[in-house]
Structure 1
Amino acid sequence: LRSFLKSEGLLASRLVAGKEEEGAKFSDYFEHTEPLKSVPSHRALAMFRGRNEGFLMVDLRLTADESSADTHPCQSMIAEHWNIKSDGRAADKWLAEVVRWTWSVKMSLHIQSDLLMALREQSEAAAIRVFASNLKDLLLAAPAGPQVTIGLDPGLRTGVKVAAVDATGKLLDQATIYPTPPQNKTREAAATLLVMIKKHGVQLISIGNGTGSRETDRFVADALAAHPELSVRRVVVNEAGASIYSASELAAREFPDVDVTIRGAVSIARRLQDPLAELVKIDPQSIGVGQYQHDVSQLQLGRQLNAVVEDCVNAVGVDINTASSPLLTRVSGLSARIADNIVSMRDAKGRFLNRKALLDVVGMGAKTFQQAAGFLRVMDGDNPLDASAVHPESYAVVEKIAAQNSRELRGLIGDSPFLRAVNAQDYVTADVGLPTITDILSELEKPGRDPRPEFKTAKLQDGVEKITDLKLDMVLEGTVTNVTSFGAFVDVGVHQDGLVHISAMSDKFIKDPREAAKAGDIVKVKVMAIDVPRKRVGLSMRLTDSAEEPGTERKKKDHRPAQQGKRGDAQSERPRKNTQKSGRQSSGQSGAAKSNNAFANAFAKALDKS
């Protein structure tokens, strides 16, 4: 029975009477039915959320309307299993009632609960994988690098908070300006900003994408246009989590005498310089690049996200002379206490000159050093190998290669023609195998290489600042902020991310939206649909597509947008009507179900009609 229902069952959701207005955001599921075996994770989680909030009833059934059926198919399977028939015998009616009672009272709710629980677990696992993938893309986003940067935390009534940081992220200057409504002190704000730019030699301006972002961006563009001699780039960045960091204990220790709002501006500036180094200071669950993140197991989500953060940090490597304590904590083998001790020793005695100096840090034992050393970097130190991913245990191998070829160590590093000509097999020993030698040569060819892509930014279109500024068929450039299992959300600068449905992400069929885009990508999109009341924007990455005119019937490809929550928590994707004929017997059905041909044919016809 469980196998049969899993294969042939339908997941149905219905509106709770009288909840039409309160549950309007779940209107797509007021009368919805689709095969259980193929329901996508995001739609399942949407229905479960609607049920938990009291707007939907969700159950499992075999036909769209089971009230019309005289006998439930599962009752027929039970009767057949026990060879119960209606042959006019005295007890046949009583036996038939026992079969009905067995299914309706004893078994149906139990099996339905099992299958819905399994569906929820599968859907949660899929949602956690989506969040983890997006977080990885965000953490490994291209860094602008060590440049003097001004961070702007936009605001309207409370003003724009300004923080200038040096190339290492140290706070240099701060201010609050009021270039936006209602105060509109544009001239004074421009003067303050220009003084700060010239005083500190600012190279980048990082603007948070919150309320007032586009107005602030336009103000900065006008201010810079009036001074073409300034070589300053402005970039709009995702400020998710900046407010959480600014109010955290870590920020309070780092900036004890700085206002909370200025701390947020510092974070916005730093996340442009190095997204990974700044985002590790924030609880990854607060970054908000998942789907239905508040509906899944927070324990499992936290474990998965923390593992992703650690993997990203170790893949990039950490400069021990500039890294913060939270960043060092994410290095494999280092605890929060050891990370704090590294920073304290650096502050007290100056920069580390080599990796071996880490052994003098309190709590850094030989085993901890062995585990962490390969992920830690010392730039411009005593030993050039300390700036690479080559582990200190393998330094002897590199020195042997240099000695046998009469080369200096520094001249060896980065010499691709020579390194490619080296026969790795010549240096294999009982302690060092061929894979290790191959990895060492690869690392020496590009020492300390950063796996992150080259820094690029989206150019937002002037004059497009609100959803009402959008026009159908308008082509815009934007940044992918979130990738879900049903599409990708793109920030085009209107304070409401638009959805590129998976069917509009590529000219060829794709099963996973990540095949076409990932968080942080710069993409060109065309506006396909605008729903101002519900704040939904439908986009397409296929620029040859044409937007539908109002009132026309939808085309085969569905560009209906989904709604995205304040922190990237994607709401329900509008489900397509169920046209699948799933009543046919599958190869995995039980023998009892296969043998009941008359029932199978009738069942298939009923589902075809539904």
Structure 2
Amino acid sequence: MSNTINQMIANELNVRQEQVTAAITLLDDGNTVPFVARYRKEVTGGLDDTQLRNLESRLGYLRELEDRRQVIIKSITEQGKLTAELEAAIKGADSKTRLEDLYLPYKPKRRTKGQIAIEAGIEPLADSLWSDPSQIPEDSAAAYVDADKGFADTKAVLDGARAILMERFAEDATLLEKIRRHLLSQAELTSRVVEGKEQEGAKFKDYFEYNELFKNIPSHRALALFRGRNEGFLQISLNADPNQEEGVRGSYCEVMIADHLGVKLGTQPADTWRKQVISWAWRIKIAMHLETELMAALREKAEDGAMQVFADNLKDLLMAAPAGPRVTLALDPGLRTGCKVAVVDATGKLLDTATIYPHTARARVAEAEATLLALLNKHNVDLIAIGNGTASRETDSFVATLLKDNNLKIQSVMVSEAGASVYSASELAANEFPQLDVSLRGAVSIGRRLQDPLAELVKIDPKSIGVGQYQHDVSQSMLAKRLDAVVEDCVNAVGVDVNTASPALLTRVAGLNGTIAQNIVNYRDENGRFDSRTTLKKVARLGPKAFEQCAGFLRIMGGKNPLDSSAVHPESYAVVKNIAAANDKALDAIIGNTEFLRSIKAADYTDEKFGLPTVTDIISELDKPGRDPRPEFKTATFAEGVNEVKDLIPGMVLEGVITNVTNFGAFVDVGVHQDGLVHISALSDKFVSDPREVVKAGDIVKVKVMEVDLQRNRIGMSMRLGDEPGQDSKPARKPQQTRPQGNSRNQSSRQRQDRQSGNSAMGGAFAAAFANAKKK
């Protein structure tokens, strides 16, 4: 069966089965995804980390499917009901849904009405009436009346016969699959407000009378609907016949059932009863079962979409450009409680702290100026980081005036402080700064995240960083797993300086865990800096396997071996020595020697152990050893005099930074303590199916203010600078795009519903921008 699983995954990833088999073997042997992606390309045929993550996830599902398959086969075998045909169908089931459909008739369950009727001997009547409609049901049922068995009259007998057939049809796997496919392509999801809840549930008003094709519902709308239902404001259901004319009774699904069973209903005596059997089988059994199943599938798909949005945004944030090793003064702005100030050196070490009050009495403003100026001069500060919370623009203005008046050429940057308060109160921060006030720890974090966003943000639970979409509505365990994988991949893509890294950062390195990471720091504290990668083997509990996994991602800057500062794995050092020896050059002479490295052929240095992919990577790494894959550091310039939402005027063109990307658009910070929304339809003049095709978190963009709603503190923006406020500009459409089926009046309101989603789902992505983006 493992070959079947491997082939299935290979087909889904569009790679060879041999690649999948090799990757699974490596992962089963305890190798990490980053290690396999970087250092085992020959073995896997070059599968990257994204493919390996997908492979790992799919492998888990298919193995669970296989385990369930064996349990089902065993159960049916023990019942003595496993036929060759059924066994073949079970073994061929490619999803858990199909598998459970096949198992349904044999699944142990509580006694049903149908089972009770079978036990009373009524099954022959059910079969007879179904196959021979010429009978008069009441006359045929008379022979089965038995009060002792609970069937005291013909009505009870016919009800029992109907229950037998209803349950039989509702457990027909092939029939269920036919109807399921029909519903997935044609059914509509409908939502109505719970009577009497109109005012209390006003935030869900866009879903008070809502219809949309089930297959077209995006994740953010699905999660908003489920939240509305969970909070008791909405009733949602599946309409199997959205195009049916008013007044028509019955469902097309009943026709499908009759066709599947080969039944033609006419005017024979039992046909009315048979029609009732079909109708009840649909309405009471099949419709309820499939609606529950499809709703669960929609929620699962929506959650997966929301988690992917979160994962993509988190990756963009973690891989944002670092300002680099520069002395930084950080301010955590505040009004009544003052601004907390922290100065960190180029390595992030805390040098000084203070609290200033630049937004109170004039005397205190002068004192704040003097304090800040003294700190800037004392520590030769290169950068100023200002948290983007309450009073951030006032603080930014204060700093700008100070720098101008004193002719200081120091750059100040607005920094997102999302999650800084979580870090400040964490055990990690308490261990790092046991004597430091909680509020000052936040300032340290702000300064460090400007220097190196990745190194600082790994100290915070990814779910607290606030770049998700409906993050509280999804499986928290699955979300944590997905986000942890993102953090691990980002950390290992960049690499970690083992002599400066925090335990939190080291924990994310492939092959390491919290215990080993802390042991590395303890060894460093006791013995001084590491001077070679091999010294890591002396760290407690860092065994051969852990060393193999982590060594290539840990950097030793200025160590004994220059290769220790690169991404070349120690197991491959021999390849570099061979290159140097073959060309009669010293090791130092080839590192960074672009002209030489581009003149040699990787194929000349391959052998049985190190193939062309590895040697090619080694040569590339030698050309730019320890290169950082993150982009160049840039900052947005906010407009002077635009500090609050009330300062915005429709038509303004402003520079801002993308803070969050969702399925329905992107949020932009233009420096007014409230992120604005650029709807997906306003991101480009071309059709956009996914906002990430155009923007990602951290991008600096130009936007035009289209709408300002002071009452609800919302800002509508456009990246199509030719758009004019007040005009109902048409979104770019996909070439040859056709109108989806369904209620047309709802199609025209989709953009409005997306814009209102924050109101209807206050914990979702809109909430992050339209409610919580006041940044405290």
TM-score normalised by L of structure 2: 0.71
Give the SS at the match of 1:28. helix
- Stretch deviating more after TM superposition (19-28 or 513-522): 19-28
Aligned to 2:755: 561
In 1, Cα distance between equivalents of 2:361 and 2:259:
76
Q: Is the contact between residue 33 and residue 64 of structure 1 (CA under 8 Å) also seen in structure 2? A: no
Give 3-state SS (helix, strand or coil) of 1:561's partner. helix
**Does the 8 A contact of 1:526 with 1:542 survive in 2?**
yes
Which residue pairs with 2:310 in the alignment? 131
Aligned residue for 2:348, secondary structure, equals coil
Report the alpha carbon displacement of residue 526 of structure 1 after superposing the two structures with TM.
Answer: 0.7
User: Cα–Cα, structure 1 residues 332 and 30, in superposed 2: closer, same or farther, change >3 Å?
Assistant: same
Distance change in 2, residues 1:567/1:497 (3 Å) = farther
Q: How does 1:195-344 map to 2 (within 5 A)?
A: 195-228=374-407, 230-344=408-522
Letter of the aligned partner of 1:217 in structure 2? D
Letter in 1 for 2:691: P
Percent identity over the alignment is 61
Query: 1:36-115 counterparts in 2 under 5 A?
Result: 36-61=214-239, 62-63=241-242, 68-82=247-261, 87-115=266-294
- Among 523, 536, 540, which residue is 1:362 paired with? 540
- CA distance 1:86–1:425, change in 2 (3 Å): closer
User: Which residue of structure 2 aligns with residue 584 of structure 1?
Assistant: none
Look up the match of 2:369. 190
1:424 has 2:599 as partner: no
Q: Runs of 5+ in structure 1 lacking a partner?
A: 575-610
**Partner Cα separation in structure 1 for residue 306 and residue 579 of structure 2:** 48
- Aligned partner of residue 385 in structure 2, secondary structure: strand
Distance 2:338 2:289 in 1: 58
Give the match's secondary structure for 1:185. helix
Gap change, CA 1:562 and 1:391, over 3 Å in 2: farther
* Aligned residue runs from structure 1 range 531-570, under 5 A: 531-548=709-726, 555=730, 561=755, 569-570=765-766
Residues 550-596 of structure 1 show CA distances to partners (whole Å, capped at 9, x for unaligned) of xxx5645658735669987335999xxxxxxxxxxxxxxxxxxxxxx
Aligned to 2:145: none
The residue type equivalent to 2:765 in the other structure is: D
Contact 2:330 2:385 in 1 (8 A): yes
Secondary structure of the structure 1 residue equivalent to 2:674:
coil
Deviates more, 1:97-106 or 1:25-34: 97-106
Q: Distance in 1 between matches of 2:724 and 2:568?
A: 53
Secondary structure at 1:211 match in 2? coil
Q: Relative to 1, partners in 2 of residues 1:184 and 1:485: Cα closer, same or farther, differing over 3 Å?
A: farther
Question: Is 1:6 the equivalent of 2:187?
Answer: no
Distance in 1 between residues matched to 2:637 and 2:315, nearest whole Å: 24
Deviations 1:47-76 (A, max 9, x none): 111111111111110227987432222233
**2:379 is the counterpart of 1:176:** no
Task: Check whether the contact 1:165–1:171 (CA below 8 A) recurs between aligned residues.
Answer: yes
CA distance in 2, matches of 1:347, 1:159: 35
Q: 1:554 to 1:409 in 2, by over 3 A?
A: closer
**Deviation of 1:431 (Å):** 2.1
Rate the CA distance shift 1:144–1:99 in 2: closer, same or farther, 3 A: same
Q: Is the 8 A contact 2:682 2:731 kept in 1?
A: no
- Farther-moved stretch of structure 1 (209-218 vs 99-108): 99-108
Bigger Cα displacement from structure 2, 217-226 vs 131-140: 217-226
Letter matched to residue 547 of structure 1 = P
> Is this contact kept in 2: 1:288–1:567, CA < 8 A?
no
Q: Alignment partner of 2:766: what SS?
A: coil
| Amino acid across the alignment from 1:525 | V
Q: Partner amino acid for 2:755?
A: P
Return 128-137 or 94-103, whichever deviates more: 94-103
Look up the equivalent residue of 1:569 and give its one-letter code.
A
Asked if 1 retains the 8 angstrom alpha-carbon contact of 2:637 and 2:655, the reply is yes
Aligned residue for 1:104, secondary structure, equals helix
Partner SS state of residue 437, structure 1: helix
Matched, 1:484 2:654: no
Structure showing the higher helix proportion among its residues = 2
CA distance in 2, matches of 1:87, 1:135: 62
2:412 is paired with a residue whose SS is strand
Rounded to whole Å, the distance in 2 between the matches of 1:234 and 1:127 is 34
CA 1:399–1:206 in 2, change beyond 3 Å: closer, same or farther?
Answer: same
User: Aligned partner of 1:338: which letter?
Assistant: I
Taking the aligned partners of 1:430 and 1:84, their CA distance within structure 2 comes to: 67
1:397 aligns with 2:591: no
Number of aligned residues = 570
The answer to whether the Cα contact below 8 Å between 1:562 and 1:573 also exists between their aligned partners in 2 is no
3-state SS of paired residue (2:384):
strand
Deviations 1:339-396 (A, max 9, x none): 1111112112211111111122122222221211100101111111111001111112
CA positional deviation for 1:189:
1.4
Deviations 1:91-126 (A, max 9, x none): 333333333222222221111111111111111111
Which entry has the higher C-alpha Rg, 1 or 2? 2
Instruction: Determine helix, strand or coil for the equivalent of 1:364.
Output: coil
Quick one: distance in 1 between partners of 2:264 and 2:426? Answer: 71
- AA of the residue aligned to 1:570: F
Alignment-derived partner of residue 530 in structure 1: 708
1:542: how far off?
1.5
Matches within 5 A, 1:429-448: 429-448=607-626
Map 1:493-504; keep pairs closer than 5 Å: 493-504=671-682
Distance, in Å, in 2 between the alignment partners of 1:188 and 1:563 is: 46
Structure 2 Cα separation of the partners of residues 63 and 503 of structure 1: 27
Q: Is the 8 A contact 2:555 2:564 kept in 1?
A: yes
Deviation at 1:150, TM superposition (A): 1.2
Larger displacement relative to structure 2 (340-349 or 373-382): 340-349
- Kept in 1, the 8 Å contact 2:343–2:350? The answer is yes
Cα RMSD after superposing both structures:
2.2
What TM-score comes out, normalization by structure 1 length?
A: 0.89
Counterpart in the other structure of 1:513: 691
In the alignment, the residues of structure 2 paired with residue 379 and residue 202 of structure 1 have an alpha-carbon distance, to the nearest angstrom, of 24
Contact 2:675 2:769 in 1 (8 A): no
* Maintained 8 Å contact 1:529/1:547: yes
Q: Is the 8 A contact 1:134 1:483 kept in 2?
A: yes
Q: Matched residues in 2 for 1:78 and 1:400: separation?
A: 73
What are the superposed Cα offsets for residues 391-425 of structure 1, whole Å, 9 maximum, x if unpaired?
Answer: 11111211121122121211211111110111222
Distance in 2 of aligned mates of 1:125 and 1:72: 32
Alpha-carbon spacing, 1:568–1:320, altered in 2? closer, same or farther (3 Å): farther
Partner of 1:162: 341
Partner secondary structure for residue 706 of structure 2: strand
SS of the residue 1:468 aligns to: helix
Quote how far apart the aligned CAs of 1:516 are: 0.6
Q: Go from structure 1 to structure 2 and tell me whether the alpha carbon gap of 1:194 and 1:64 turns closer, same or farther (over 3 Å shift).
A: farther
Once the two structures are overlaid, the 10-residue window that deviates more, 326-335 or 555-564, is 555-564
Q: Distance in 2 between matches of 1:538 and 1:47?
A: 23
For the 8 Å contact 1:488–1:500, the answer to whether it is kept is yes
Matched-pair contact (CA < 8 Å) for 1:482–1:490 = yes
SS of equivalent to 1:421: coil
Relative to structure 1, the CA distance from residue 184 to residue 309 in structure 2 (aligned partners, 3 Å threshold; closer, same or farther) is: farther
- The CA deviation at 1:130 is 1.0
Q: Secondary structure at the match of 2:613?
A: helix
State whether residues 43 and 573 of structure 1, in contact with CA within 8 Å, keep that contact through their aligned partners in structure 2: no
Which region of structure 1 is more displaced relative to structure 2, 76-85 or 172-181? 76-85
Once the two structures are superposed, residues 519-562 of structure 1 have per-residue CA deviations (whole angstroms, 9 ceiling, x without a partner) of: 1111111111222222221111111221215xxx5645658735
In 1: Cα distance, 2:708 partner to 2:730 partner: 16
Contact 2:386 2:412 in 1 (8 A): yes
Q: Is the 8 A contact 1:499 1:562 kept in 2?
A: no
Letter in 2 for 1:63: P
